[in-house]
Amino acid sequence: MKITVDEDTCCGAGSCVMTAPDVFDQRDEDGVVILLDAEPPADLYGVVQEAADVCPAAAIRLTKQ
């Protein structure tokens, strides 16, 4: 799985960070998402998928490899 995030679309809601803190963080200044791990291990796929599903801005894109 490969993850990309759209920083322009992200509204800083932080749902992804709450759901998958090993993969997502937020910038201190404006809350915009920081991608910590673009190719996470398989045991994180579930929470990463959940994070993408709950993102209110649909800013998280997952590519299955």
Sites of contact with ligand SF4 (CB under 6 A)? 5, 10-16, 24, 26, 33, 55-57, 59-60
Q: In whole angstroms, how far apart are CA 55 and each of 39, 40, 52?
A: 18, 18, 5
In the complex, the smallest distance separating the C-beta of residue 32 from ligand SF4, rounded to whole angstroms, is: 7
| CB of 8 or CB of 43, closer to ligand SF4 | 8
28 phi, psi to nearest 5 deg: -65, -40
In the complex, the smallest distance separating the C-beta of residue 41 from ligand SF4, rounded to whole angstroms, is: 20
In the complex, the smallest distance separating the C-beta of residue 52 from ligand SF4, rounded to whole angstroms, is: 8
Angle at alpha carbon of residue 39, lines to 37 and 43, rounded to 5°: 95
